[in-house]
A and B are shown apart, each in its own frame.
Chain A
Amino acid sequence: MKCSEFLKELTDYLDGEIDERTKAELEEHLQWCHNCYVVCNTTQRTIEIYRDSKLYELPDDLRTRLRSAIITKCQGHKNATPER
């Protein structure tokens, strides 16, 4: 397996969406190809870091304000369309 072939399968491999045979071939490649091992490992870390980052958390006060605005608008829509 070439490195470019490994890269093509990387997303399915990281997501566990891969058949056993291809998985075995990829893991065999990882045994001897340090570059692909590093790319695979750091790509996995990239995903984990973003997933765990708490980037753009909704602050409680803003959350309350937004929810109240949404419900007021929905109420307005409901009142304007009584047939619902």
Chain B
Amino acid sequence: MEAIESKVDEPVNGETVLVDAARKGDIGAFEELVRRYDRNVFRIAQHITQNREDAEDVVQDAFLKAYQNLGQFQGQSKFYTWLVRIAVNEALMRLRRRRPERMVSIDEDVKTEEDSMPREIADWSPNPEQLYKQAELRDILSKTIQGLPASFRTVFVLRDVEGLSTEETAAALDLSVPAVKSRLLRARLQLRDRLNKYFKRRDGDGRP
């Protein structure tokens, strides 16, 4: 089985030069960094906040904070991992503000009733994503991932959607590697379980 590949190219071409220039006040260099990563930051922000306006604010605030704090960026991690860490914190802060009644923490190792054990073993149609129109599919995927606790959703998005390594995800979220793996497993299994009802193989033409 093939390992999941990173969505961000490695080695990051000329990134150190750009970061150094931006640190010295070269706005053009920073704009290039924004151009490289704004799509990723927006996607992460919207996955976590589940709200378009919040995601827009997170993109702006995360890049501004990164610019303001470039002096503190040590260069030991990739700029992108450092930026993701800022963006995740901003996104979680907005989520907490919007849903103060719900505990939102990345540290929380949420125990849920439908934990790791699959509830239903059902094989899927050969190309399940083709059973739905694109907009319909996006709606299903969006609704399904919204149901996960924020801590699971965040790990899944960084690791599986954005393609950060386990170590990078752990660094970005300030979690241990085993904690990332535990959340990732449960996130993956819960999503799979919830997608069963849309994608499982049926008799007949395959359309549920």
Residues in chain A within 8 A of chain B (CB atoms): 4, 7-8, 10-17, 35, 38-39, 41-47, 49-58, 62-63, 66-67, 69-71, 73-75, 77-78, 84
Query: Nearest chain A CB to B152's CB is how many angstroms away?
Result: 12
State how many angstroms separate the Cβ of A70 from the closest Cβ of chain B: 5
Interface string of B87-120 (1 = CB under 8 A from A): 0000000000000000000000000000011100
Sort chain B's interface into a size bin.
35 or more
A-B contact pairs, 19 of them (CB 8 A): A11-B181, A14-B188, A15-B166, A39-B192, A43-B188, A45-B128, A46-B191, A46-B192, A55-B138, A56-B43, A56-B55, A67-B31, A71-B31, A74-B30, A74-B63, A74-B67, A77-B67, A78-B25, A78-B27
> Which residue on B lies nearest to A15, using beta carbons?
B3
CA distance A56 to B25 in the complex (A): 31
Q: What CA separation (Å) do A57 and B56 show in the bound complex? A: 12
Whether A39 and B27, one on each chain, are in contact in the complex, defined by CB atoms closer than 8 angstroms, is no
Q: Is B38 an interface residue (CB 8 A)?
A: yes
Q: Nearest CB to that of B196 among chain A residues? A: A42
Chain B contact residues, CB within 8 Å of chain A: 1-4, 24-25, 27, 30-31, 34-35, 38-39, 42-43, 46-47, 55-56, 59-60, 63-64, 67-68, 71, 116-118, 121-124, 128-129, 137-138, 141-142, 145, 156, 160-161, 163, 166, 181, 184-185, 188-189, 191-192, 195-196, 199
Classify the secondary structure of A's interface with B: helix
Most interface-central of A53, A63, A69 (chain B CB within 10 A): A53
Q: Across the interface, do A38 and B137 meet the contact criterion of CB distance under 8 Å? A: no
Per the bound structure, the CA–CA distance linking A39 and B120 in Å amounts to 9
A55-B142, A66-B38 known; A75+B27 contact, CB < 8 A:
yes
| Cβ A42 vs Cβ B124 within 8 A | yes
Question: Are B160 and A50 neighbours in the complex by a CB distance under 8 Å?
Answer: yes
Bound-complex Cα distance A39 to B122 (A): 8
Kindly report which residue of chain A lies nearest to residue B183, judged by CB atoms.
Answer: A11
Q: Is the CB of B160 within 8 A of A51?
A: yes
13 more CB-based (< 8 A) A-B contacts, given A7-B116, A70-B64 = A38-B122, A41-B124, A42-B192, A45-B199, A47-B160, A51-B4, A55-B43, A57-B43, A62-B56, A71-B34, A74-B30, A77-B67, A84-B25
